[in-house]
Amino acid sequence: MNEQGSKSSGAAETGLGAAPPQAPGIEQLREQIDRLDRQLVGLLAQRRRVVEQVVQVKQQQDLPTFHPAREEDLISARRAQAAQAGLDPDYVEDLFRTVLRHSRVGQLRTLGRRGVRPGARVLIVGGGGSMGRFLAGWFTQSDYEVRVLDRVDWPQVGPLTAGLDLCLLAVPIGVTPAVAAEVGPRLPAGCILADITSLKGEPLKAMLSGYGGPVVGLHPLFGPATTTMDQQVVVVTPGRQREACQWLLDQLALWGNVLVETSADEHDEVMGIVQALRHFATFAFGQFLHARRVPILRALELSSPIYRLELAMVGRLFAQDPSLYAEIVFATPERLALLKDYIQSLQRNLGLVERGDKAEFAARFRQVAEWFGPFSEQALRESTFVVEKLVHRF
């Protein structure tokens, strides 16, 4: 390579044109690639400037940020062009999804700040906590009049609730029912009462009995470390006067959230599994690694990308706030019963290994696979996709 490289650059320097035309050397080809890459970045910068003009027009005309049909059209057109040019359409789609997401997040930064009801009065109860501060920030940037009620402000509860349009409870699960009972009777007619706890049954009941107006339960499935709400899920459990709550839901959607509606019972059942049980199992696994002093960095080196990701899913828990997880795991007696059931089922499966019964292991395995149906194939595809992303990133 060095030889070839110095040969071609030498020819360029002396400018001797007598030699017969020869195939370009690797250094010349690399210069061509660099030139093309510079042009690529130049086009991306031009694209960015046009998108900024689009944002201005959208702002003036009050148009929404997203245009899913437009995005799919764009992707289809580029896929078709890629196929014609002999490029892998999946590869080109992958690149354009990155471009579109970047563009969407950039637009949200400007457009998503708009208020659906600017000037409306919002009280965040527990506004001193991390989620409370986070939400207060979003409402403030969207031109709401934001008030904060924290433990020390209880004497001010009268003036703080006066003329209120939204009362948002952002206090720990354990005290949410008590706070709802306390605050509910003070709210003016038409004000929305909402909470953001990760449990919906008890809090919703308490809000409905403490207040006779519009009530809605919310469970944002993200933490205060999020910088964008783009495509973050918020579970919505309607309580009373759904239409009166609509502007709040519209505001969340405008910020980029995806809203999923369900009943409080279904929410709590599903969350018992996907939150409480998963968190407990992950916590216990990390604890086990620690107790056995497993050499974690060495284990990572000896791991395939998918095992690295498995370990990362364990590690990430411990970079977060233990009290948040304790709240979720310790929330209800049903959750304790669920954990007990789970450990018993582990015991039963251990019996298979003790008896060396591989045939029964395989039979149970196939039973689950059949019951999962298309989910396992999809899971394999999705997780393989992200693992490939991880591999090419690091």
> Rule CB under 8 A: which of 183-242 touch its own copies?
221-222, 230-233, 235
Cα dist. 361→150, 222, 353, 372 in Å?
54, 37, 8, 17
Q: Which amino acid is at 290?
A: H
Whether the Cβ atoms of residue 270 and residue 239 lie closer than 8 Å to each other: no
Nearer to its own copies, 190 or 322 (CB): 322
What track of x and - describes contact with its own copies for positions 290 through 319 (by CB under 8 A)? xxx-xxxxxxxxxxxxxxxxxxxxxxxxxx
Regarding 280 and contact with its own copies (CB under 8 A), the answer is yes
Q: Which stretch binds its own copies (CB under 8 A): 130-138, 144-152, 154-162, 261-269?
A: 261-269
Q: Which stretch binds its own copies (CB under 8 A): 30-38, 127-135, 140-148, 154-162?
A: 30-38
The dihedral formed by the CA atoms of 57, 61, 67 and 70, expressed in degrees to the nearest 10: -60
Nearer to its own copies, 186 or 278 (CB): 278
# chain residues binding its own copies, by CB under 8 A:
160
Whether the Cβ atoms of residue 134 and residue 108 lie closer than 8 Å to each other: no
- The helix (H) or strand (E) run that includes residue 259 is strand 258-261
- The helix (H) or strand (E) run that includes residue 6 is helix 2-14
Nearer to its own copies, 12 or 353 (CB): 353
Q: How far apart are CA 30 and CA 149, in angstroms?
A: 62
Residue with tokens 């709590």: 268
Residue with tokens 């579109």: 100
Binding residues among 37-96 for its own copies as defined by CB under 8 A:
37-48, 50-51, 53-54, 56-58, 61, 63, 70, 74, 77-78, 81-82, 85-88, 91-92, 94-96
Closest approach of its own copies to the CB of residue 275, in Å: 7
Spatial CB neighbours of 183, under 8 Å, sequence gap ≥ 6: 125, 157, 161, 167, 169, 193, 210, 211
Q: Which stretch binds its own copies (CB under 8 A): 31-39, 107-115, 131-139, 243-251?
A: 31-39
Closest approach of its own copies to the CB of residue 14, in Å: 22
Question: What would you report as the CA-atom Rg of the chain, rounded to the nearest whole angstrom?
Answer: 28
Binding residues among 359-388 for its own copies as defined by CB under 8 A:
361-362, 364-369, 371-372, 375-380, 382-387
Residue 44 sits at the vertex; the CA angle it makes with 39 and 49, to the nearest 5 degrees, is: 125
Q: Which stretch binds its own copies (CB under 8 A): 113-121, 149-157, 243-251, 353-361?
A: 353-361
Closest approach of its own copies to the CB of residue 241, in Å: 23
Closest approach of its own copies to the CB of residue 186, in Å: 31
Regarding 259 and contact with its own copies (CB under 8 A), the answer is no
Nearer to its own copies, 243 or 298 (CB): 298
Whether the Cβ atoms of residue 190 and residue 244 lie closer than 8 Å to each other: yes
Binding residues among 120-179 for its own copies as defined by CB under 8 A:
none
Burial class (CB in 10 A: 0-12, 13-18, 19+), 204: buried
Closest approach of its own copies to the CB of residue 22, in Å: 11
> Which residue in 6, 118, 320, 334 binds its own copies (CB under 8 A)?
320
